Chain A
Amino acid sequence: MSALTSRILGTGIVTPHGTSLAFGKEAPPVSEITNPETGRKHLIATVPAACSAHLGREPRLRRASTISLLAATAAQAAILQSGITPGSRTALVLGVSNGCAQYTRRFYEQIVKTGANTASPLLFPETVHNAPASHLAAMLKLDGATYTLIGDATVGLQALHFANQLLTMGDADHVIVAAAEELDWILAEGHHLWRLTSSTGTCRPYAGGGTLLAEGAAAAVLALEGGSAKLTTVPGQTIPSRRHATAALRATISQLGDVQPDHIVDGANGTWLDTAYAQCGPSDRRVSPKANIGDAIGASALQQVVFATALAGRTLVPALGWNQQAAAALVESSAEN
């Protein structure tokens, strides 16, 4: 069994523009982040703090990292739109890429600069990859299946496929799927060193020049019935090396069958990945949202799906990671949302 299907009951998104898709073709607001030791500066797109300000009273989120707040904000919006009441048959699947980077860097910085005996026990638990999922489960009072998946930029689609597996196996009636990414100077510098980021603070899909790292999150509530959009996911495949990316993405899309999409919402980001994305279909059907919201790596594939649910018709969502996987999904929306 390759492709699995479900229905999308609700979605939520958080981008540098805020919590709606009503930003048209605007580029994301860009800010500077600095390595305090070297003074090296990097351009990134962060999410306005106001987006998650309402979560400040949640007991488990008071000390939580940005990634937890972003995930919770997107998930709340998706749950609200879905109309479900999370309960014992509700599962949670959260996708992350770099995880709780801010607390991880701060904790290790304490170890290096002031000694292991001064490292804060308040920070360490928040460095664990499943801390955001744990906070979200506590907020929603879930006592069943809670999973955190880790991966590259495809992890949002992997989380959706994992959720479809849970639904198909009868392990849950509803699955809340979320994905989120927070930024820190160490990530910005690492990706710069990896020669993936743009020096101009822009992301120009198919034009090269590198990507613009961004914070962000997305969420969807899935079930086997209901909703106005059908979601089909496939397992995808791992990529042995960069030169296999195009073939891997093509093979992954073929797992969906003869798709004939009306739209393609891709993950093109101005890096070498774009060569593979260019083979997904004609350019006049392609939408590349990273130009407008930046590249929130771990959140990006699920953000693409949220964009796809807003389009009428059949929308192909391909995703490629820098070092792991090719993934794809098909969103069939009955009406413009």
Chain B
Amino acid sequence: MTGSALAAVTWSDVFDFSDYGALLALVQNSLWAGALLGLVGGLVGVVVVARDLPFAVHGTAELSFAGGAGALLLGVDVVAGSLVGSVLAAVLFGVLGNRAREHNSAIGVLMPFGLGLGVLFLALYEGRAANKFGLLTGQIVAVDDPQLVSLAVIATVVLVALLVLWRPLLFASLDPEVAEARGVPVRLLSPVFMLLLGLSVAMSVQVVGALLVLALLVTPAAAALRVSASPYLVPVLSVVFAVVSVVGGTLLALGSSVPISPYVTTVSFLIYLGCRLVARLRRPPARAGAGAARAVGAA
């Protein structure tokens, strides 16, 4: 690659906002899908972080990708395919234990297998290349009406279930023994949450792609937890961060030839960096040092 070839890729190739109004009308469905996804991802993310499950999210996403790729090859509905993949993964992980630590190696074994399977399906598929790429890195204009309806149905199921389960789920996530002693059905909640996680991942794969699901299901919650520990504020902030990432990323991607995912992940990452900075300013290093000294003293 020579310097002149690089220079040929100019700013205007990446960004072109000349027909923005017309584009906006075309992607209305995608914006709605993104908002739904942000709402679900932001809430699910809080529990994912509390249960220490980011690795399980990644594993679920790869199997969801395999499911979607398989559906593409067979010519059946891609959403249904990725749902089957992620629900299967979530149930498998859920059966393997309550906490991430207990089954990280199992996820590490299943994840590359899922990814390999997906790549195989895509290699065999002879349709449009954009469809192939979309499952991994996300797509933007692809959300049609029936797809939006199916996303809305999944989102509603996940949101209602989360609202009902929220308090005992949080309790069981951070202190399973005490929660069980207080009558929380800890062993039931684990697979149920994994199922909800599977549904959320399948939704996210449609928009940001399998490789970058973490940007929606982990980063916003992790950012929120940097600036607050209030159980009321953290879910709200996490949802706001996730919605801003997806909708903002979509709007930026509109005038661009690059897929949607780099925009979403960049916005999401910048929010995270901002939150770290805010936390740093509010909690100067001296305070953090005192906290570390206390922790050592107690050990």
* A and B physically associate: no
| A-to-B contact residues, CB < 8 Å | none
